Amino acid sequence: MLANGKPELLIPASCLEVLKVAVAFGADAVYIGGDVYGLRAKAKNFNHEDMAEGIRYAHRHGVRVHVTVNILAHNDDLEGVRLYLRELNELQPDALIIADPGIFDIAGEECPGIERHISTQANNTNWASARFWYRQGAKRVVTARELSLEEIREMRRQIPKDMEIETFIHGAMCISYSGRCLLSNYFTGRDANRGACTHPCRWKYAVMEESRPGEYLPIEENERGTYIFNSKDLCMIEHIPDLMTAGIDSFKIEGRMKTALYVATVARTYRKAIDDYARDPALYEKNLPWYQEQIADCTFRRFTTGFFYGKPSEEDQIYDSNTYITNYTYLGVVSATDENGYAVIGQKNKFRTGDRIEIMKPDGRNVEVTVRAIYNENGESMDSAPHPQQELHVDLGQKADVNDILRMKKEAE
C-alpha cells in the first residue's frame, strides 16, 4: 500500500516509449523485462541503455520500476543469470520479480539492496507459502491467478503486515496453472517457462475419435474450429470497491506485449477509478459508466472476473474465436512538437489528411481533431502515411503534448 493509503497501480511496459506513456497516464510503478531471463521474450524489451534511461525517467517522476527475472531456470542459465543480476544491481531498479528459488538466492547475493518479489509463476496459492518466502527475504508475493478475493483476504490476515500482496486485476488469462504451460514447448520447442511462449492456448482445436481418423467432431465450433483453451480477458473495473477492501497492496495489469494505446487506456481508466473511490465511493459509482466505456476502447477478448468470485464456468471461455475486439486504431505517441507546433510521432498505422482522429490525454479527455496536414521528416507534404515506423509531423489544428496518444475510431462493421 502506498503512503497515501491507496494500492499501487502497476503497469506493464514493453519498451522505453511505452514506459513513458505508462508514467504519463497514471502508473505508480511499471514492470519491465530485459533482453533475457523474463517470460516475455517476444516483447520488444529493454536493452541495458534503455533500461538505465527508463529507470532514471521513472524515478524522476516518482514512479517505481520492477524488473522481471522470472524464468524457471535450467542449469545452463545460472551463470548468465548471475552476470545479468550484477548488471541490474548497477542500475538499481526498485524490485526484481522472481519465480525460481535458485535465482531468488542468487539475487539476494548480487542485489542485496533491491526488493525481491515472488512471481505468480511460483504458484502462490496460500498464506503458508507466502510466509515461507517472507522468511527467505521476499518483500512481496504476487498471488496466483486461481485465488478468490476471500482467499486473498485470508492471506492478508495470516501474513506479516510488512509483506505486500500484488494481484493481477486486468488482462489476458493463461490456460495453465499460474501460467506454467507445457503446450508451447511440446508443439514448437519454445519453452513458455523460459520466456518463449507461442500462445498455443489461442489456436483452434478439434476432437477426433480413435476409430474415425480424419473425422473432426464438433465442440461448439464454427467453420474455423473451436478455441477450447481460449479464456476471456480479466477485467475488474466494475469491482474496485471489493479490490480496495481485500488487503491488496498492488493492482497489477497484464500486458508486457501490448501497445502504448492499450497501456494508456488501461492505466488512465484504473487510475481514475482508484482515485475516485478513494475520494468518495459515491463518485466511483457515479463515474462507473465512464470507466466501462473507456476500458472497452482497448483491445480485449471479452471480459470475465476470473477466479475472484469463485471458479469460472464455461461462460468464461471463448469457443468461437481467438481474435481480439479492437475499437480504435493506434496511430502513434507524440514524442515532441516541432517549431510549427505540429505533433511529431513514430507512425504505427495508416491514416490520411482529412481523417477525424482523437488526441487521447492523461487527464481523461479525448479531443477530436481533423488531420490538416502530414509531413515527413524532410518536410515534404504527404496525403497519407502508409508506412509504419516513419517519423511524421502532423498538423492537428491544435497543440498535442508529449506522451499524448493519437488514435482513430474504427468504422462499425
Using a pLDDT cut of 90, give the percent of the chain over it: 63
**Cell triple for residue 354?**
482529412
CA distance 55 to 64: 8
For the segment 307-322, the average pLDDT, to the nearest whole number, is 59
For the segment 389-398, the average pLDDT, to the nearest whole number, is 93
pLDDT, tens only, 198-253: 666 666 666 666 677 776 655 554 544 444 556 678 899 999 999 999 999 999 99
pLDDT, tens only, 335-368: 999 999 999 999 999 999 999 999 999 999 999 9
Give the lowest-confidence range in 182-191, 278-287, 383-392.
Answer: 182-191
Largest CA distance in the chain: 73
Sign of CA dihedral 13, 15, 17, 20: positive
Contact indicator for 396, 369 with CB cutoff of 8 Å:
yes
Strands 250-253 and 115-118: unpaired
Question: What is the pLDDT at residue 211?
Answer: 74
CB atoms within 10 A of CB 62: 8
Beta strands in 16-109 (DSSP E): 29-33, 64-68, 95-98
CB atoms within 10 A of CB 338: 14
Strand partners, 31: 12, 66
- Give the model's confidence band at 317: pLDDT under 50 very low, under 70 low, under 90 confident, else very high: very low
Helix (H, G, I), strand (E, B) or coil at 254: coil
Contact indicator for 314, 321 with CB cutoff of 8 Å:
no
Question: What is the pLDDT at residue 10?
Answer: 98
From residue 222, alpha-carbon distances to 217, 302, 320, 326 in Å are 12, 18, 6, 21
What is the tally of helices (H) and strands (E) in the chain? 10, 22
CA distance 407 to 327: 10
Contact indicator for 103, 79 with CB cutoff of 8 Å:
no
**Cell triple for residue 49?**
541503455
CA distance 286 to 332: 32
Helix (H, G, I), strand (E, B) or coil at 198: coil
pLDDT, tens only, 44-76: 578 999 999 999 999 999 999 999 998 889 999
Between 95 and 303, the more confident residue is 95
Three-class DSSP labels, 50-93: HHHHHHHHHHHCCCEEEEECCCCCCHHHHHHHHHHHHHHHHHCC
Q: Which of 336, 396, 342 is nearest to 372 (CA)?
A: 396
Helix (H, G, I), strand (E, B) or coil at 408: strand
Q: Whole-prediction pTM value?
A: 0.85
